[in-house]
Structure 1
């Protein structure tokens, strides 16, 4: 068994266990009992709901050498009441393929030029692990300190730089959302040294990241609104939209404007 296969099975195990423990019996129409040694559903309860054997599901959650079919994965997703992003993530990490973890990402020059083209609206391009690959001056002003490092990374800034908490009045919400998107991407790259290093750094440096990472929240990039505080202390509401780069779908262009 290759290292990447072991990592993929571990990722699948972690995701299934996290979702099972967060699904209560009442969520799936089962009667609750006053004494439960573990949170959420028991393995046998989930297996019964999915129509598979408890032993087989246990092997799957333990990272053993079992290969679930799409039909079985769908049944498990139905039993756990997974939403569409979570279903897609489950199928992705259960796929029997490898994802090499390159240490850096190539950004096409045409894409790198886009943030400068939309000045004075703040804009930047992030890679799969939220390295900042391109940005404009307005983004530097909007998120102070985020692009000062030799290799800037949005997740590292949010969780390890105090300036992020000053710039983002709703920091807990923003930080949880970004970590969920990073966790989603990390699951697609099991064994990637780049993701592993970033995970260790965030969890070592931030008690919030250490508490939230095992929850295995799933999220995808989308449009929305965010409160931002300037260096002078003035707050404003900014709307934003995120766009996938067509030939590099894990690279995201994000553009802000005042609401």
Structure 2
């Protein structure tokens, strides 16, 4: 049987929201029969139904194209041209020119591809080839840098679930989960229901023990399309370190 990635994705998002098909149908104003067929892969959703389902299931807008390209390739037309798998000199120069912490990473594992000096200084050990979840759960430094460690862990895992059409069948996520399972909190947080919303900032502790609130800005470059995304952590207006 062919993979039914999109149907698996909608079913998992529905179950994560603790909704039955009937409850989702009522909230989305769609028929139970349509939702069942979409989940079983016997009916491809229209763009209108897609929009309604994503909105009802609180799928982050910036993740939607990624999900559709993986699970329903070609639905939105041919993707833009893709660059080389690794950042080129111009990409790295642009990253280095950013004063605030910034990095390139690949979804859904949030594996670092490149990071500027401010990012390297703030997050010791989070180097190219290391995934943010592995650093967060396995590197003791993370629990000092991230002030609300548990909240950030929940945000990270929520994003991973939203970004993968089928978490159980993704070998990259399986390898990451196996590594992170050494952390005592992993099973609880990986399998728990996440809040629908998170604050758009990250509270961090600098090497000088100051606490700084950074706003999380994430971009997915598309012209040409990259295999990585950009995460830019921007200090809020008037933000100052606090002892």
Counterparts of 1:51-66 in structure 2, within 5 Å, are 52-61=30-39, 63-66=40-43
Match in the other structure for 2:203: 227
- 1:169 aligned to 147, 150, 160, which one? 147
Q: Does 1:236 align with 2:215?
A: no
- TM-score, scaled to structure 2: 0.68
1:205 is aligned to: 182
Distance 1:156 1:219 in 2: 23
Tell me the SS of whatever aligns to 1:187. coil
User: Tell me, what secondary structure is at the counterpart of 1:65?
Assistant: coil
Match for residue 38 of structure 1? none
From the superposition, tell whether residues 160 and 181 of structure 1 become closer, same or farther in structure 2 (CA, over 3 Å): same
Of 92, 96, 116, which aligns to 1:136?
Answer: 116
> Residue 28 of structure 1 corresponds to which residue in structure 2?
none
Cα drift, residue 74 of structure 1:
4.5
Change (3 A) 1:134 1:86: closer
Identify if the C-alpha distance between structure 1 residues 190 and 106 changes in structure 2 by more than 3 Å, giving closer, same or farther: farther
Deviations 1:43-78 (A, max 9, x none): 3344355555545534544x3533233344445557
Q: Which residue of 1 aligns with 2:162?
A: 184
Relative to structure 1, the CA distance from residue 54 to residue 159 in structure 2 (aligned partners, 3 Å threshold; closer, same or farther) is same
> 5+ unaligned residues in a row in structure 2: which ranges?
75-83
Deviation for aligned residue 1:164: 0.4
Deviations 1:198-231 (A, max 9, x none): 24433x23454433445477789x9x54332244
Query: Paired residue for 1:111?
Result: 91
Query: Unaligned stretches of 5+ in structure 1?
Result: 22-40, 99-103
1:155, distance to aligned residue in structure 2 (A): 2.2
TM-score normalised by structure 1 residue count: 0.65
User: What is the distance in 2 between the residues matched to 1:218 and 1:227?
Assistant: 19
Cα distance in 2 for residues equivalent to 1:89 and 1:217: 23
- Structure showing greater Rg: 1
Aligned residue for 1:101? none
> Displacement of 1:14 after TM fit?
0.7
> Quick one: structure 1 residues 90 and 123, their matched pair in 2 at CA, closer, same or farther if it must change by over 3 Å?
closer
Partner of 1:113, secondary structure, is: helix
CA RMSD of aligned residues (A): 4.0
Q: Deviations over 1:15-37 (max 9, x none)?
A: 12222x1xxxxxxxxxxxxxxxx
